[in-house]
Structure formats: structure tokens, C-alpha cells
Amino acid sequence: MSAPERVLVITPTYNELESLPVTLARLRAAVPWADVLVVDDGSPDGTGALADGLAASDERVHVLHRPRKSGLGGAYTAGFTWGLRRGYDVLVEMDADGSHAPEQLASLLAAVGVRQAVGGAGPAGPLGGADLALGSRWVPGGRVVDWPLTRQVLSRGGNTWARWAMGVPLRDATGGFRAYRARALQAVDLPSVRSEGYCYQLDLAARVVRAGLTVVEVPITFTERAAGASKMSRAIVVEALWRTTLWGARRRADQLLALTGRTRRRAGLPR
């Protein structure tokens, strides 16, 4: 009988004093066998100290402190690196602000084949699921609650644009509620990822697809945060726009070069 799989839920925080304890309590109740890593960027409101307090009384909770606010992408890369070094089988991204329902985590875990997530009958160990499961707002069954129309339009529009520019057939590649098999993260070459914000999510999903691994989208209900302030900014949107445009232009140029090469070869000309 194989050992149960080890799951690490990574939750980045910046000024989430009100939200973090609620989110962690829900998570520990929903998936008590998963470990948690809070990655705090020196939150001035004391979220880091609060997380240390929670970790002191719960051996499944861990905290990684970074000195200052350095972006969501870097926080996740630091968390993934921490988890991969410790041999976790599955690494999950989940926001602290309550937008991602811990009660829906089991369906993401089931999609990457974690047997504990489907009731634990039979031997533990991989069921042969996907390499990456994306929590998706924009597939049938997916929903958003209390999210302003402007944000919905931005998210849907951004995903449509990214799908076209990057050629990645995903409905919601910018979301931050997802479960990776360790092998998917090992395939993406984390140290070379430069993107932040939404772009980080897109970048990683595209890299997993291009590595030839399997990505599935699982419907989720995304709920607007009840407390604290959003860290979403114009800079994050602008970054996503210029990076996807650049990636898209490169992809089209590569396609064009490949096409020209094929045509010249067929005509018997040197390339």
C-alpha cells in the first residue's frame, strides 16, 4: 500500500489580517490532512506575526517571511521552491482573501488524482489525474459572486486575448486557485519566470501546456473579498498586456519562420 500523498497549500499574504484566520480555519476544516504555507511579504498590518501565532499552535501551518512586498509571482516561486525541496507531491495556490473556497479544494485535488480527496477508499497514492488543475470561473458550472462587472469584463477579456495571443486553449488561465503535481512545477523552470501578477498565472499555465503535460479546468465559485483591500493595480494589468503581446508576437514570428522554412525546403531552396 503506497503512502498518502503530501499536499501543500501555499497562501501569499500582504495585509490580510482580517481574512487570513478565517481562510485558514476554513481550509483546516475542509482538508485537515493538507499542510499550509503562508508566504508573507512583511505586511505592515501584522499578518506575518498572526501567521506565526497560528503556526505555533498547529503543526500543519508553516510561514515563510520575505522582507518586503515583492509581488505575487515571487511569493509563489518562493513557496513552490520551499515545498519542492521538502518533497510535497501536490502544491496548491490559494488566495488568503476568501475569494477561493477551501471547501472546493477537494475537487481540484481529485482532478490531479489525489486519492485522499475522493474519500480515501483503497490504497493511497496517485490515481493518474492531470498534472495541473485550474480552478475556473469561466467554464460551465463556474461562477463569480459579488464581483463588479468591470472586473468580470477585464477577466473574461484578458483570458480571451491571452488564448488568442498565446495559443493556449484555456478559459481561465489567470486565476490563482489551482493544484500542481510536483512534476509540472519541475517542468516549468521556475527560476526563469520573470512575470508577476496575473501574468505569472498565465505564464505558468502556458509553460505546463507547452511541456506536453495535462491541464484540466475545474469549475469554481469565486467570491469577492469580504475584508481588506485588493492589491490588484493598473501596473499588474499593464504588465499582463505587454507581456502577452510580446509572447504572442514571438509565437507568430516563430510560426512564420517555420512556414517559410517548410516552403523553401519544398521548393528545393536552401533555408
Q: Which residues bind Mg ion (CB under 5 A)?
A: 95, 97, 99
240-251 per-residue burial string, b: 16 or more CB within 10 A, e: under 16? bbebbeebbeee
Q: CB-wise, 116 or 201, nearer to ligand GTP?
A: 201
Cell of 49: 506575526
Q: Which of 217, 212, 216, 207 is closest to 185 using CA atoms?
A: 207
The reply on whether position 158 binds ligand GTP by CB under 6 A is no
Amino acid type, 15: N
Nearest distance from C-beta of residue 75 to ligand GTP, angstroms:
4
Kindly indicate which of the ranges 7-15, 103-111, 203-211, 242-250 contains the residues binding ligand GTP, using the contact rule CB under 6 A: 7-15
Site for ligand GTP in 51-70 (CB under 6 A): 69-70
How many residues line the site for ligand GTP (CB under 6 A)?
A: 20
The reply on whether position 75 binds ligand GTP by CB under 6 A is yes
Cell of 226: 469580504
**Nearest-10 Cα torsion for 211, 213, 218, 224:** -30
The reply on whether position 238 binds ligand GTP by CB under 6 A is no
CA distances (Å), 137 to each of 101, 180, 209, in order?
12, 18, 19
Concatenating the DSSP letter of every residue in 206-228 gives HHHHHTT--EEEEE-EEE--SSS
The reply on whether position 231 binds ligand GTP by CB under 6 A is yes
For residues 107 and 25, is the Cβ–Cβ distance under 8 A?
A: no
The reply on whether position 41 binds ligand GTP by CB under 6 A is yes
Nearest distance from C-beta of residue 13 to Mg ion, angstroms:
11
Kindly indicate which of the ranges 49-57, 95-103, 107-115, 254-262 contains the residues binding ligand GTP, using the contact rule CB under 6 A: 95-103
The reply on whether position 93 binds ligand GTP by CB under 6 A is no
Interface with ligand GTP (CB under 6 A):
12-14, 16, 39-41, 69-72, 75, 95-97, 99, 225, 230-232
